[in-house]
Amino acid sequence: MASVVTRGVIVGMWMVGLLGGGVGDASAQSASAPRYRPVASGHVRPFYLAGVADTGVRVPGFLLAERAVSNADFLRFVKANPGWRRSRVPRIAADPTYLRHWESDTVLGATAAPSAPVVHVSWFAAQAYAQWSSARLPSTAEWELAASRFVRSVGPTPERLQTFLIGSYAQAGTEAGTEARPSPSPASDEGIAGLHGGPWEWVDDFNSVVTSGESRGDGTPDDGLFCAGGAALAADPGNFAAFMRYAVRGSLRGSYALGTLGFRLARDPSPPSGRPDR
Amino acid sequence: MISIRIPLRHGAAALTFGLLVPLLPFAACRAQGAEAVPASGLSERSLYRVTGRWTNHDGRALDLAELRGEPVVLAMVYTSCTMTCPLITSEMLAVQRALPADLRGRVRFVLASFDPARDSLAALRQHAEKMALDDRWLVLRAAPADVRQLAVLLGVSYRQLPSGDFDHSNIISVLDPQGVVSFQSPRIPADRDALVKAVTAAARASHRPRR
């Protein structure tokens, strides 16, 4: 799958970008990198449901990092890939708010605790980080699946999860610089922390929210904007927490680097044991 | 697949449950030195700073950055779409016809498919024939990650339905010769006059003579 392309660009894997590069940094992913936890397969009911069966969409099992990428993690990436320093990143890949809570290009400073989830990162930066880490971003469906499993800490009914989520969202948004703190909210049943109560998180297909017209407008659909988008119906209009997540994703652009938005990594399941590892 | 024109080194020691993953697949991706495309002079907002690997309907591999130097009218569609996609193509054809005669050979028209699974090269060729697209047109396919990235760059939303069809934005974009989005028509029917005006402005501003 790796392939060398025209004019020296190396493009082989998703978002590998490399030009210019140099020798790979052998310590790129240190022992402090987060562990991955298995998320068992299951069904997700997308908030916008057109064309989806009542049971929802089946999501195969996958691996999800047990915590979001931290400032310290992202600093290693930026040090190893100078093109992603905030003074050098091109505007097409990240807005001027990119990493603005850091003291400088390669110093975190007082407002960016090393262990806190990194925020002020664009989708392109998150994708490049994932590529560098030989991982990927979770899809919307994968993220939603993992984030729905809080029976142990919240209780068995969907209503209780909703109440819990809305409460945690109310605490989540604070001023830039202070929002990036470790989340106090409980881990999911599968041991994944920070899915709720911390920063929002990028997903690979954040731009898959196809609704008719401008949600902040007067509610009149503009059917000319989307092909078939006018048919999208909410699966569960009472699920306000899900509505908030989809509304946030639908309002993003790939270059946005918001103070309330970070990311975590996902991977496909490990290959079956017995395969020789090298 | 995709490349962002930013130096990026691979972590050579990525861990998966404490086991080193086989490094061989990445060896060929390792940095090979020099900056590929001279980004010099290219706007910070140029799409050509972030590009993917596409294949044209004639089978030719293409890096979008190769389109640098000419204005581009670009939309994302899928060829089995029976709803707005043929309309998008028709709108672009109308823009092509409405261009001043001296510019018609200096503007590229590009359709990029949402649907690599069903839009084979044969399907793309068939679409080009059916819509009577001339040699100023490219009809492109790429791997899903490249499709996603182009859509993000353009602000295009899309989602595949269980039926295999797609919900998607109806955006038609104009890129200037540097690859910067200079105008977007968000809906169908498109604002043809504004599209023609934007393309004409981009072409007239071009320093590069026709190749």
* Residue A234: CATH number of its domain: 3.90.1580
The CA distances from residue A135 to A14, A255, B137, in Å, are 10, 20, 36
Domains of chain B: 43-204 (3.40.30.10)
Cβ neighbours of residue A190 closer than 8 Å, sequence gap 6 or more: A37, A38, A39, A40, A64, A146, A149
* pLDDT score, position B205: 80
CB A128 within 8 A of CB A81: yes
Closest CA to A2 of A10, B3, A146: A10
Q: Inform me whether the pLDDT recorded for B124 exceeds 70.
A: yes
B203 min Cα distance to partner chain A (Å): 22
Rounded CA-CA distance B86/B92 in Å is: 10
Name the B residues in 76-135 with CB < 8 Å from any A CB. Answer: 81, 83-85
Residue A88 within any structural domain of the chain:
yes
Residue bearing the bigger pLDDT, A110 or A227: A110
Of A7, A123, A224, the CB nearest to B189: A224
Residue A39 within any structural domain of the chain:
yes
Q: Inform me whether the pLDDT recorded for A27 exceeds 50.
A: no
Q: Which amino acid is at A220?
A: T
pLDDT level of residue B54 (50, 70, 90 thresholds): very high
Say yes or no for a CB contact (<8 Å) between A2 and B28.
yes
- A38-47, A129-138, A180-189, B33-42 — most confident range: A129-138
Pairing label, strands B72-77, B172-175? antiparallel
What would the mean pLDDT of B83-91 be, rounded to a whole number? Answer: 88
* pLDDT score, position A176: 42
Rounded CA-CA distance B122/B120 in Å is: 5
Residue of chain B nearest A36, judged by CA positions: B17
Q: How many domains does chain A have?
A: 1
What would the mean pLDDT of A57-66 be, rounded to a whole number? Answer: 94
Q: Which amino acid is at A51?
A: G
Residue of chain A nearest B30, judged by CA positions: A24
What would the mean pLDDT of B13-20 be, rounded to a whole number? Answer: 34
Burial class (CB in 10 A: 0-12, 13-18, 19+), A128: buried
* pLDDT score, position A23: 34
B101 min Cα distance to partner chain A (Å): 30
Q: What is the mean pLDDT of chain A?
A: 76
Residue A28 within any structural domain of the chain:
no
Rounded CA-CA distance A154/A187 in Å is: 10
Residue A16 within any structural domain of the chain:
no
Q: What is the ipTM of this complex?
A: 0.80
Assigned token pair, A185: 């909210």
Dihedral angle, C-alpha A90, A96, A97, A99, nearest 10 °: 40
CB A229 within 8 A of CB B167: yes
Pairing label, strands A261-262, A200-201? parallel
Domain that holds residue A71: 35-267
- CB contacts, 8 Å: A93 with chain B: 4, 6, 49-50
pTM: 0.80
- CB contacts, 8 Å: A249 with chain B: none
Say yes or no for a CB contact (<8 Å) between A93 and B10.
no
Place of tokens 């200079």: B182
A115 min Cα distance to partner chain B (Å): 19
- A56-60, A117-121, A162-166 — most confident range: A117-121
* pLDDT score, position B176: 96
Paired residues of B141 in beta bridges:
B55
Say yes or no for a CB contact (<8 Å) between A2 and B81.
no
Residue A191 within any structural domain of the chain:
yes
Residue A30 within any structural domain of the chain:
no
Q: Inform me whether the pLDDT recorded for A13 exceeds 60.
A: no
Count of alpha carbons within 13 angstroms of residue A275, beta-carbon side: 8
